[in-house]
Amino acid sequence: LPILRRVGGLTPQAYLYGTEFLRESVRARQQENIEKLVRRLETQGQSQASASLANKSAAEASQAALIQQQQQNQLREQLNRLRSVKSNGRIALEMDPNASDIAALPPLTLEDADRVVIPSTPGFVAVLGSVNNENVFIYKPGKTVADVIKIAGLMEEADVSQSFILRADGSDRKSTRLNSSHQI
């Protein structure tokens, strides 16, 4: 971004890979997509509920209604959580993690209200989810995903195949494409 050169460039502490590029028009579109997803899931839930009760005997219908009520409550909770999600309009820049020069930024045309945030180099790694110790750990070069998972400790119900790394540039890497020796 030429504007970064005009304002003096990067400081030595800049972590270019962690650059956040936020765009209002993208935020609005992301929020719209979340709302569409909520409506679609609500409709699916109602359709499945109706279909599961059809063609059941009275005893089966009673049992199915109880199960359906529990499922509807769970769905309602999930939808409420999804409704509370607010998009930020971040565009993943998919940069080289070792990038340190402004030239590594992709050429982007700026729009009104765009925001560019270049953080300082982080010194930590956060571990969240089905682990015994949801925490923030000090980053140490050479540490692997397996090392961090071992420190955090997996819960018994953890599904490692559903894990992912949320990278500093906003992209993610699914655990199915990772091997435990993958560097953080």
65-to-48, 51, 59 alpha-carbon distances in Å: 12, 11, 10
74-to-47, 67, 79, 121, 184 alpha-carbon distances in Å: 16, 11, 9, 40, 34
Task: Average the pLDDT over 59-74 and give the result.
Answer: 76
pLDDT range class, residue 177, cuts 50, 70, 90: very low
Q: Are 145 and 33 in contact (CB under 8 A)?
A: no
What CA–CA distance (Å, rounded) separates 21 from 92? 7
If one counts every other C-beta atom within 10 angstroms of the C-beta of residue 95, the result is 19
What CA–CA distance (Å, rounded) separates 65 from 49? 9
Inform me whether the pLDDT recorded for 64 exceeds 50.
yes
78-to-21, 66, 67, 75, 158 alpha-carbon distances in Å: 29, 19, 17, 5, 19
- Rounded to 10 deg, the angle between the 24-53 and 58-83 helix axes is 170
Inform me whether the pLDDT recorded for 181 exceeds 80.
no
DSSP state of 170: S
Please tell me the predicted confidence (pLDDT) of residue 184.
Answer: 62
Please tell me the predicted confidence (pLDDT) of residue 23.
Answer: 96
DSSP 5-26: HHTT---TTB-GGG-EEE-HHH
Please tell me the predicted confidence (pLDDT) of residue 87.
Answer: 92
Please tell me the predicted confidence (pLDDT) of residue 78.
Answer: 87
Q: What is the pLDDT of residues 88-142, one digit of tens each?
A: 999 988 888 888 899 999 988 999 999 999 999 888 999 998 999 999 999 888 8
Q: Are 10 and 102 in contact (CB under 8 A)?
A: yes
What CA–CA distance (Å, rounded) separates 36 from 156? 34
The values of phi and psi at residue 38, to 5°, are -60, -45
Please tell me the predicted confidence (pLDDT) of residue 35.
Answer: 93
Q: What is the pLDDT of residues 27-56, one digit of tens each?
A: 999 999 999 999 998 888 777 766 665 666
Task: Average the pLDDT over 138-147 and give the result.
Answer: 87
